[in-house]
């Protein structure tokens, strides 16, 4: 009998439980060498090219593009005896679906069936040529069955025509891509399964903004953003609050060995939160440089799976859009996330009680109540505010603990 080797859906990260088979790179009967890319997997975080583990002939594809498969599910079978003939025919049948010749959404298939329209004659406008509902509608497939023809009857007397009703306005239905479906489900699970609570505080960053302007005026230095200061303040504060550097894992609390901070950024396929690592002893410039490198990879779509793993906390900043605040959802696998808005001019009393115009940053800390209690969260957030309000201390390394 032919020697078959199964290739399964890989586990590409600690929190990954399933992935989307986004694209096939091979077909049954193709010869592949070890290291050749055979398919692409999308998770809610990243796309990954999966390579053939051995030399062989593709015997069977066990899933279609767009299928969501659990980790460990068989994706492809390879013949490893090097005989291309009858490779596809001799493969052992499996229970998983065979890829369809025509890729179409369920709604598009129903509309085509009702209209008696052959999907093979419809050009798809969706990802990788997927046929969408609007593609069928454009070919006259409204989804309503055609009325049967009746014999002609004598014409009745002509009556006045009633007012013509306006044509109904139809909503536009947008199909989700595989990445969007998985991300939406993961966020829904996070909001449902993680017991969120929220703590709010305001930080006076008037001095921080002046310091930032001064430092950014120096040539040849890394550019500092408000996010640079926030990430550095979080990392510095976590040194004194190890209980905040914990996550919920396998019904236990895991305290992380390093201080890492996730940075939410808009990538080519949506929002991701790559992790900037080992910031416990970093200066402000070092935090900014590390964050800049990770964010650049995210925006270019070049993140690796390990870039999205680890860390107990992330930052999500909407200040650049003019929004004054945000209450974010915790990223699965972490225990908190800090929402940051735009600085707002606010009058505050000085030491003599006189009103002084200051720049105030609104912060919202979302916490996992299984890991963090309200008192700890409140103390931690106030400590972060103190770090931001005395931002010059972030220019030096933290003092070594005796």
Q: Is residue 152 part of a domain?
A: no
Same domain, 300 and 334: yes
How far, in Å, are 105, 142, 167, 239, 375 from residue 139 at the CA level?
15, 9, 19, 63, 62
Same domain, 267 and 301: yes
How far, in Å, are 186, 190, 367 from residue 261 at the CA level?
20, 19, 15
Q: Is residue 212 part of a domain?
A: yes
Q: Which of 60, 90, 120 is the last residue of a domain?
A: 90
Contacts of the segment 346-354: beta carbons below 8 A, 24+ positions apart: 346/202, 348/204
Q: How far is C-alpha 239 from the geometric centre of its chain's CA atoms?
A: 28
pLDDT score, position 400: 75
Q: Is residue 45 part of a domain?
A: yes
Same domain, 60 and 203: no
How large is the greatest C-alpha to C-alpha distance in the chain, in angstroms?
Answer: 104
10-residue averages of pLDDT along the chain (402 residues): 84 80 90 91 80 92 88 92 46 43 68 79 74 80 49 58 71 79 83 96 97 92 94 96 96 96 89 93 96 92 86 95 94 95 93 93 97 97 97 90 59
User: Does the annotation mark 369 as catalytic?
Assistant: yes
The active-site residue, picked from 62, 170, 362, 369, is 369
Same domain, 58 and 86: yes
Q: Which residue has the tokens 């015997």?
A: 59
Contact criterion met (CB below 8 Å) for 317 and 225: no
Same domain, 259 and 387: yes
Q: Is residue 19 part of a domain?
A: yes
In tens, the pLDDT along 116-166 reads 788 778 888 876 576 877 888 887 765 444 444 445 555 556 566 666 667
Beta strand segments in 244-384, E: 246-249, 252-255, 261-263, 265-267, 270-272, 275-276, 313-317, 336-340, 344-349, 355-368
Q: What would the two tokens of residue 248 be?
A: 């919920």
Contact criterion met (CB below 8 Å) for 224 and 284: yes
Same domain, 368 and 245: yes
pTM above 0.75, yes or no: no
Cα–Cα dist 109/118, whole Å: 9
Structural domain of 267: 195-395
Same domain, 222 and 134: no
Q: What is the DSSP letter of 131?
A: B
Phi, psi at residue 254, to the nearest 5°?
-110, 120
Same domain, 71 and 117: no
Q: Is residue 228 part of a domain?
A: yes
Same domain, 343 and 297: yes
Q: Is residue 234 part of a domain?
A: yes
Task: Based on DSSP, count helices (H) and strands (E) in the chain, helices before strands.
Answer: 8, 19
pLDDT score, position 285: 96
Same domain, 234 and 260: yes
For residue 54, give the CATH number of its domain. Answer: 2.40.50.100
Q: Is residue 35 part of a domain?
A: yes
Cβ neighbours around 261 below 10 Å, total: 26
Same domain, 255 and 330: yes
Q: How far is C-alpha 6 from the geometric centre of its chain's CA atoms?
A: 29
Phi, psi at residue 257, to the nearest 5°?
-75, -25
Q: Is residue 233 part of a domain?
A: yes
Same domain, 23 and 124: no
Q: What would the two tokens of residue 56 be?
A: 């062989």
pLDDT score, position 323: 94
Overall number of domains in the chain: 3
């Amino acid at each position: 009998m032919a020697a078959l080797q199964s290739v399964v859906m890989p586990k590409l990260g600690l929190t990954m439980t399933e992935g989307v088979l986004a694209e096939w790179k091979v077909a049954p009967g193709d010869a592949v060498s070890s290291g050749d890319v055979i398919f692409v997997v999308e998770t809610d975080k990243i796309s990954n090219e999966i390579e053939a583990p051995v030399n062989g002939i593709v015997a069977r594809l066990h899933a279609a593009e767009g299928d969501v498969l659990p980790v460990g599910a068989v994706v492809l079978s390879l013949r490893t005896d090097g005989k291309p003939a009858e490779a596809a025919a001799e493969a052992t049948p499996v229970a998983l679906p065979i890829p369809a010749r025509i890729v179409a959404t369920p709604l598009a298939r129903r509309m085509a069936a009702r209209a008696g329209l052959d999907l093979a004659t419809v050009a798809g406008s969706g990802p990788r040529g997927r046929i969408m509902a609007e593609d069928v509608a454009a070919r006259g497939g409204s989804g309503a069955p055609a009325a049967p023809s009746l014999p002609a009857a004598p014409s009745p007397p002509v009556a006045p025509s009633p007012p013509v009703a306006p044509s109904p306005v139809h909503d536009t239905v947008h199909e989700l891509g595989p990445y969007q479906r998985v991300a939406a489900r993961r966020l829904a699970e996070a909001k449902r399964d993680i017991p969120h609570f929220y703590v709010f505080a305001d930080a006076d960053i008037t001095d921080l903004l002046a310091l930032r302007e001064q430092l950014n005026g120096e040539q040849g230095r890394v550019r500092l953003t408000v996010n640079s200061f926030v990430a550095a303040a979080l990392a510095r504060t976590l040194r004194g609050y190890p209980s905040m550097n914990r996550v919920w894992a396998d019904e236990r609390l895991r305290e992380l060995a390093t201080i890492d901070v996730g940075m939410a950024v808009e990538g080519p396929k949506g929002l991701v939160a790559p992790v900037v690592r080992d910031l416990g002893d970093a200066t402000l410039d070092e935090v900014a440089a590390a964050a800049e490198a990770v964010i650049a990879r995210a925006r270019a779509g070049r993140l690796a799976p390990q870039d999205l793993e680890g860390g107990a906390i992330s930052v999500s900043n909407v200040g650049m859009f003019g929004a004054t605040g945000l209450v974010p959802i915790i990223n699965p696998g972490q225990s908190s996330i800090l929402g940051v808005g735009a600085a707002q001019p606010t009058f505050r009393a000085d030491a003599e009680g006189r009103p002084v115009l200051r720049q105030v940053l609104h912060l919202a800390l979302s916490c996992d109540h299984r890991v963090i209690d309200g008192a700890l969260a409140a103390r931690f957030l106030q400590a972060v505010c103190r770090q931001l309000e005395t931002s010059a201390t972030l220019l030096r390394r933290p003092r070594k603990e005796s």
